[in-house]
Structure 1
Amino acid sequence: MVRVGAHTSIAGGVYNAVEEQLEYEGNCGQIFTHSPQVWQDPNIGDEEAERFRDLTQDNGVAPWMIHTSYLVNLCTPKDDLREKSLDSMQKECDAAAKLDVPYVNVHLGAHTGAGVDGGLDNAASVLDELDVPDGVTILIESDAGSGTKLGGTFEELAGVLDRSEQDLDICLDTAHMFAAGYDLSTPEGVAETFDEFDAQVGLEHLEYVHLNDSKHECGTNKDEHAHIGEGLIGEEGMRAFVNHEAVADVPFVLETPTENGKSFAWNIQRVRELREE
């Protein structure tokens, strides 16, 4: 059974994310613990955490993943931003443990002049200071690679895994990979991309996928998501990706738009149709 779900809201209580997921007929998912645009601590009470855990278990919605704040920058050379990022990451990891959520997903961020090696060194040093609870794994997300942002290449993803003492794994984002220059629009391109990921990083590190189509051409570094099969990755590429043996047991979470009369429910169903074909 394919594991596919959506990024859902915790508005009104974190347990509402499970209820929303069920409305979309998703069976795994992703949440923010607070607005991703601000520095804010997760504020999840014991009762709502218990309700989230119970709803998750009773309805078989798993695995969940927490996505960290967009302000977190692991690669930064700036001491104040480094400390804020470290503090925010620690609190997200603690929230994951409280909710029995196994994954915390984070972008590496931008090196802003420190250089690729300096940025990766900075990221590893932040990650190594974290006290990651048992049962929680940090996932490094692949990036679209614009500006000085790192994580757009598999070499950079491997670089931070090699540098860090933490047991890190990877969340690949299809739209980000496509924007960064990995052509997923054909079966041949998908196969080549997985082969390269395996050679550079190792498929054993692939724990989750953000499954999104792209509104922009391959290699443009532009990150804008489209409905599954209706962007420039397209139906052929998406079908090849979701049926590739490398992701046979890897969960997919969608961050597709709600537009043109199509929502998460439509996209989740489309993934299931492509997986079955």
Structure 2
Amino acid sequence: MSLRVGAHVSISASRASNDPETPPHGNIANAVFRQTAFGGNCGQIFTHSPQVWEDPNVDAAEAEQFRSATESDLDGPWVIHTSYLVNLCTPKDDLREKSLQSMQREVDAADQLGIPYVNVHLGAHTGAGVEGGLDNAAGVVDDVDVPSDVTILIESDAGAGTKLGGEFEHLAGIIDRTDTDIDVCLDTAHVFAAGYDLSSAAAVDETVEAFDDVVGLEHLQCIHLNDSKHDCGTNKDEHAHIGEGLIGEAGMERIVNHPDLQSVPLVLETPTEDGKSFAWNIDRVRSLRRE
């Protein structure tokens, strides 16, 4: 199975003057330019700053450039990651409404751009409890008018505080509660932080089997492939370079080669530090793959 691997890249018009991946023009097609510069063939974007409530604001010409460049230069797929402010589980009416409106804008942008997936965290129940939080999240998802060619992905979480998504049962719970067809994105650093071991081939096999038993591998459409700077079960979310964190080379190699995961696209959110960028990490993933 052909390896699909890429990174979460910026759509901004420019970056630091010493950045070799500075794009030639200023629109969302910058993402395709950067992805190919890093050596990726699929990837993820924010349509706007993730720290604010903002419209994607993509015009028709930019969307056409993005779709055309993607078709000619990448294997795909792309994923849109929603704003960090979105909280599907919230019991607060105002935040629920803002989250719903933001989700609607993102799935509409995905449809415009030909992107099949919109990735979102469940968020925090902030006192509503696990069951109440999952009920709230399902209500928001079912109120989104999702285009036929777009699927919402619920991302696994590191599990700190009242955030949901750290347990596979939470992911199964939201799938069971919705009338909307939704699927899942697993973040390896989050899964590890939440207490599912990935640090050896045997541990990866056990965790994949647990996910299949609880959620079902048919729902896994994307993996955020990140190593972890913190140990298993710490609920601490800080990403490391591939094979250089506490998941380590053995765990990463098994994830990349596991027979049930080989067709799942891998999107890196690894750091840029120690002289290593997305390009280094993408090359590292390819070096671990046994065809």
How far did 1:255 drift? 0.1
Structure 2 regions of 5+ residues with no counterpart? 14-26
How far did 1:276 drift? 2.5
1:197-236, aligned counterparts within 5 Å? 197-236=211-250
Find out whether 1:77 has 2:78 as its counterpart.
no
How far did 1:61 drift? 3.7
Q: 2 CA distance for matches of 1:170 and 1:59?
A: 26
Q: Does structure 2 conserve the Cα–Cα contact (< 8 Å) formed by 1:18 and 1:61? A: no
Q: 2 CA distance for matches of 1:137 and 1:193?
A: 24
Q: Does structure 2 conserve the Cα–Cα contact (< 8 Å) formed by 1:140 and 1:171? A: yes
1:26-175, aligned counterparts within 5 Å? 26-175=40-189
Q: 2 CA distance for matches of 1:197 and 1:60?
A: 29
How far did 1:246 drift? 1.4
Q: Does structure 2 conserve the Cα–Cα contact (< 8 Å) formed by 1:144 and 1:180? A: yes
Q: Does structure 1 conserve the Cα–Cα contact (< 8 Å) formed by 2:7 and 2:43? A: yes
Secondary structure, in 3 states, of the residue corresponding to 2:218? helix
Structure 1 regions of 5+ residues with no counterpart? none
- Which runs of structure 1 show a deviation greater than 2 angstroms over 4 or more consecutive aligned residues? none
Q: 2 CA distance for matches of 1:28 and 1:196?
A: 27
Number of equivalent positions: 277
Q: Does structure 2 conserve the Cα–Cα contact (< 8 Å) formed by 1:137 and 1:167? A: yes
Secondary structure, in 3 states, of the residue corresponding to 2:252? helix
Q: In structure 1, what is the equivalent of residue 11 of structure 2?
A: 10
Secondary structure, in 3 states, of the residue corresponding to 1:239? helix
- Identity, % of aligned pairs? 70
> Deviations for 1:127-151, whole angstroms, at most 9, x for unmatched residues?
0001000110000000000000000
Q: Does structure 1 conserve the Cα–Cα contact (< 8 Å) formed by 2:36 and 2:74? A: no
Q: In structure 1, what is the equivalent of residue 275 of structure 2?
A: 261
Q: Does structure 2 conserve the Cα–Cα contact (< 8 Å) formed by 1:26 and 1:61? A: no
How far did 1:245 drift? 1.0
Letter in 2 for 1:11: S
How far did 1:60 drift? 2.6
